[in-house]
Structure 1
Amino acid sequence: MSRYFPLQLAVITLALSACVTINVYFPAAAAEKAADKIIEDVLGDAAAKSDKRTSVSDGASKVLLAAAGGVLDLLVPAANAQSQADLNIATPAVRQLTQSMEARFPQLKKYLDSGAVGFARDGLVEVRDQNLIPLPERNAVRKLVADENADRANLYREIASGNGHPEWESDIRSTFALRWASKAAAGWYVQDSSGAWKQK
């Protein structure tokens, strides 16, 4: 055994612990919880209670993710503390954006119900079929959709930056996109990952 072995062991240990402390993992479970709270506030009674339909591949993915998480917890227990964190969605900017979306929702609901507008795969809303919108209302609906999308984009940015991680914005957006689709009422249209529209 080399006389430098303890020093080498200390350096390796320090390097491994440094890797653990500088890696900040996106708290997916906390993001889903935050998204559900905001979406349920915005949609109110129109929100589906839950989407019980899960495919076999979704179930298999969850099992694989849980197994991978268990292995990581064994190897790097300190990293698990981050996944247990809650996201702060009580900032003034997030509250203001949520209230704006809540106030707009009764107007938007009419077009979600008719199928003219749907929840897009990118966490925004989109005019799906303008032929379902009476001609005199089309400009108003385009403005309604643009205003909603501006609030949604700002909401995702504010949640990420308000929690000190602006780099999480795309993860926040992706999480919200999935949760909007999950909470959509029966009969509404949602866009799947390939871009195809499906009616719930």
Structure 2
Amino acid sequence: MRKLVYVILTSLAVALVGCVTINVYFPEAAAQKAADQFIGNVLDGAAPAASPAPKQQKPAAGNDGQQPSAMLLDLLIPAAQAAETPNIRIQTSATEAISGRMHERFQGALGDLLDSGAVGFTRDGMVAMRDAAKVPLSQRAQANTTVADENRDRVALYREVANANNHPEWEPQIRVTFAKSWIEKARAGWYYQDAAGAWQKK
């Protein structure tokens, strides 16, 4: 009987470890939270907060009389739960530099372009000239440079976040997640593209 219990528990342990190992899918909820934090810092000017360390549940200490099989489950189940709610790392020296440049643009030229309706957020996580007629002819070259600089930083940001998490293949999903957050956090009066690519006013 004892042997049968250990066989069952071993099978369960293998299944749980398999769940932990297989769960390498893109953690959308954690990425959304990270995007919201980054964009909030850029738009509101808050100093970047230190990235919290992932919370790890400690396995229960071996109480007197606790069966080894119960201790094994205590060790495996928190690991499986942690895999379900991973943390996304967005704080690197590169992302902090990008955040600083973006914040300056939003406080200056890019913020003015968004306020005027000349520029808007695209559905793919970038910014684009929406109505060049809203920019005086003498300032259009500078406006185009501002848009290009912002988009260069955005491409670098999405790549850096994916690489910082050791999953460069996540870059397209990081971009989609940030695109959604940029639009959600857009200020009233700013323009954005809907899913069909049509410009809408927030």
**TM-score (normalised: structure 2):** 0.72
Note the alpha carbon deviations across 1:82-128, whole angstroms, 9 max, x for none: 34122112111111111111112121011101100000000000000
In 1: Cα distance, 2:92 partner to 2:177 partner: 19
Report if the CA contact (8 A) 2:23-2:84 is conserved. Answer: no
1:90 matched to 2:91 = yes
Counterpart position of 1:125 = 127
Which aligned pairs between 1:158-197 and structure 2 lie closer than 5 A?
Answer: 158-197=160-199
Report if the CA contact (8 A) 1:118-1:128 is conserved. Answer: yes
Q: CA deviation at 1:79?
A: 5.5
Please tell me the residue identity of whatever aligns with 1:104.
R
Q: 1:145 to 1:101 in 2, by over 3 A?
A: same
Give the number of the structure whose residues are more often helix, by fraction. 1
Counterpart position of 1:72 = none
Note the alpha carbon deviations across 1:149-195, whole angstroms, 9 max, x for none: 00011001100100111111111110100000000011110101110
Q: 1:86 to 1:18 in 2, by over 3 A?
A: closer
Structure 1 stretches of 4+ with a deviation exceeding 6 A read none
Counterpart position of 2:142 = 140
In 2: Cα distance, 1:23 partner to 1:82 partner: 7
Tell me, which stretches of 5 or more residues in structure 1 are unaligned? 1-6, 46-75
Counterpart position of 1:81 = 82
Q: CA deviation at 1:19?
A: 6.5
In 1: Cα distance, 2:17 partner to 2:120 partner: 46
1:41 matched to 2:41 = yes
Please tell me the residue identity of whatever aligns with 2:127.
V
Q: CA deviation at 1:17?
A: 5.2
Report if the CA contact (8 A) 1:25-1:82 is conserved. Answer: no
Instruction: Provide the aligned length of Structure 1 versus Structure 2.
Output: 164
Report if the CA contact (8 A) 2:125-2:182 is conserved. Answer: yes
Please tell me the residue identity of whatever aligns with 2:37.
K
Q: CA RMSD in A?
A: 2.5
Q: CA deviation at 1:32?
A: 1.1
Secondary structure of the corresponding residue to residue 194 of structure 1: coil
Q: CA deviation at 1:22?
A: 3.3
In 2: Cα distance, 1:82 partner to 1:14 partner: 15
Q: 1:16 to 1:34 in 2, by over 3 A?
A: closer
1:110 to 109, 112, 115: 112
Q: 1:79 to 1:175 in 2, by over 3 A?
A: farther
More displaced 10-residue stretch of structure 1: 25-34 or 110-119: 25-34
In 2: Cα distance, 1:16 partner to 1:81 partner: 12
1:32 matched to 2:32 = yes
Note the alpha carbon deviations across 1:23-66, whole angstroms, 9 max, x for none: 40211111111111111111117xxxxxxxxxxxxxxxxxxxxx
**TM-score (normalised: structure 1):** 0.73
